[in-house]
Every structure is written in structure tokens, then in C-alpha cells.
Amino acid sequence: MSEKFNPATAIQDLKQFGEFGDVNPSITDSATYTFLKEDTMIDAFHGAAQGCFLYSRHWNPSNKYLADALAAMEGTEAAWVTASGMAAITTAILQCCNAGDHIITSVTTYGGTFAFLNNYVKKFNIDVTFVNIENHESIIEAIRPNTKIIYTESMTNPMLQISDLPKLAEIAHQHDIKLIVDNTFTPMIISPFKLGADIVVYSMTKFINGKNDCVAGAICASAQFINDISDVNSGTAMLLGPVLDPMRSSSILKNMATLHIRMMQHSKNALYLAEKFKGLGIKFNYPGLPDHPQYELFKSQMNEGYGMGGLIAIDLETAERAAPFMEMMQEKGVGYHAVSLGYFKTLFSNSGKSTSSEVPEDIQKEMGLSPGLVRFSVGLDMDIERTFNLIHECLAELKFV
């Protein structure tokens, strides 16, 4: 169990007024900012000016409001917001690594992250070792003198493995390595920084925003790390420029105020479906049931009150069986046959053919990813019993149960 920490209360305790006393912070729709004194502008370019803004690629007030809320939610000193989840992931990794460095990562990870680590960083002569993140001995054996990062997801995509974050942090810090954790699947449920992570990254596109109307990301870390990535002369975020539009920052900030309620409902609905799937005798994966091998580990790392998450997967063994099932579910109104997650409607896709398609089939097989795995991001359905009945109809009509 992480130390007593309530991420929702941490957000609610923030006092963020607009410039005219607005209960919502003002949106600053400006790319550049005026300086009354030349000396102040010079200081700003050297990182020495406090309380002023220079240029929106560097910082702007709307992004700062959102970053402050994210830092409060994670319990970190600071945060930075980006134009996508991949921008957050790649910025954090590239800030930590130089040419010739080494990364250890979970082989079970989001397809875009896998592609970046398996394919893209080679051009910088950065070497990557992929491991089963549950096998701590293999992680220790993979460590080299030039290892800079251990990278994982709190709940991995799409296998829903639970990373033992305190143990990974212990291993990392014994060797002066940074632990970077993607917490996209479990915001508020798990607080990785409180469990020892150095850097926490998010795709805010998913649960944090919750509306599937924008793409955005976040990096939560120490004030020093956030200052480093935003440094005018050497910061990865500043120089690569993955800045989030302030209009989007403002809308995401308002959505964060309901995140705790949404996470509880997503979790409640997913648990209901998991219990029903168990009754049907179909093969499925949900780490929120006591018979899941990582249930106790999951419980030991959770913040109380937010449930066990909104992701669940069923295994139909082949893509040929998964395809008509998903098409029928959409026709019957279960939800949408679409990638992504954290939406108010249920979304489902065949991970091996979609969000994990960047992972070669032989590696999918090695990591245990069934070609018939259908990942559900369970929505906020008020009548989840009706949703289950529709899923059951599809399974029955296709003679899968």
C-alpha cells in the first residue's frame, strides 16, 4: 500500500482562480508574452526570471494550471504537459539518455512505445533490452554500466500485468538508474511516484481527459527534471516542441475534477463484467478478481476507493473469431469497435491487430498475447447489466459459450 495519499483530494485542494476571480482559471490565448524591462527578458532566456512567461512553447499559464493539477494528483514537485502521450514518453526517455546508453523495458507495453524503443532509438545508438517485467532476476541480469532507465507500465498494455513498482524502484536506485512508469491505465488508482518511480508519464487522451476529443500527454517528476526538459538551451521538451494547446489544457483541467468519479464507475462496471465472464467460463483477464495471480500485488499498491481499473480482456483464441464478435457487439450497441480507452462508452479492439500491431507476431506469441485477445475499455454505463446481456447475446449467437 502506498502511504496514505488521496489524489482526488490533492486536486480539490488546489486554489486556481482566473485573473478576474473566475472559478475556472483563465485561458491565455497567446503565443508570446510582453516584458516591461529588457533585463527581465534576458533573465527569462537564461532561466533566471521567476513568475513570468516567455513563449508558449516554453510555458504558458493555461498549461501551468494543468501541470500543477497533475503534479498534485501524482504527489510530484512538478509536471509538464505535451501534445500527445507519445510526446511525453519520448521526451522523458530522450532527456534521460544519450547516444550509447542502454534501456531496460517491459516487453509488454503499448505498441507505439515498443516501436519507439525497438526501432527508433537505434538511430541514436541507444540499446534496449526487453524483459518480462515480472521476472526481477532477468532485470538485474540485464543491467549494464550504461543502463539509464528501467521503463514499465503500472498495468501493462494489453496483458494487464501489474508491475511491482516498489521492487523495480529498489532495483533501479541500487544501480543509479531512473524508473519511468506509464500510469495511463490506472490514474488515481496507483500513484507510481509514491511507490518509488522517478518519472511518471501519461497519455491524457485516455482516462484523464475521458472524452476522446483530444490527444495529450503529461510528465510528472521532480522540479529539477521538469526544469531540465524545459531548459531553453538543452531541454528536450523545449527544443523538440511538443507543446499542448492552451485551449486543450483548459478543457482537460476541468475534466480532471471528475476523474475520481469516473475511475470509480469504470472500475465498478469492469468488475461486474469480470464476475459475469467468470460465471460464463470464458477465458478472460482482469487483475481485480481475487483469483488473479497478481491480485494481492495490485491491492498492495492501490490508493483506496478508486476500484481495480476499467480494463478487461477476453481471449477468443483467434483473430478470425474476434472479428465477428466485435462487429456484432457494435451492431447491438455494446459500444464502439475502436482503439483507445477511458471513454464514457465502452471501446473494444483486437490488441494484436491494432494497438499492439507494432509488436512482431513472434514477440506477441512469446509474451503470451493471444491473437484472439479482445481488450475492453469498460465505459460509464449506468445499466451495466444490460451491457453484459448484449455481450452474452453476441457470444451465444456466435456459439462461443
Q: Average pLDDT of 27-54?
A: 85
Percent of the chain whose predicted confidence (pLDDT) is above 90 = 84
Confidence of residue 368 (pLDDT cuts 50, 70, 90): confident
Note the helical H segments in 75-110. 85-96
What is the Cα–Cα distance from 154 to 183, expressed in whole angstroms?
5
Range 286-291, long-range pairs (CB < 8 A, 24+ positions) = 286/160, 286/311, 286/312, 286/313, 287/155, 287/160, 287/162
Say whether pLDDT at 1 is over 80.
no
59-78 per-position pLDDT tens digit: 899 999 999 999 999 999 99
Number of neighbouring beta carbons within 10 Å of residue 289: 16
Say whether pLDDT at 401 is over 80.
yes
Pairing state between β 78-82 and 102-106: unpaired
Confidence of residue 118 (pLDDT cuts 50, 70, 90): very high
Q: Average pLDDT of 115-128?
A: 97
Domains of the chain by start residue, with CATH: 7-256 (3.40.640.10), 259-397 (3.90.1150.10)
Per the model's pLDDT, the better-predicted residue between 38 and 186 turns out to be 186
What is the chain's length? Answer: 401
What is the Cα–Cα distance from 12 to 16, expressed in whole angstroms?
10
Query: Cell digits for 192?
Result: 507510481
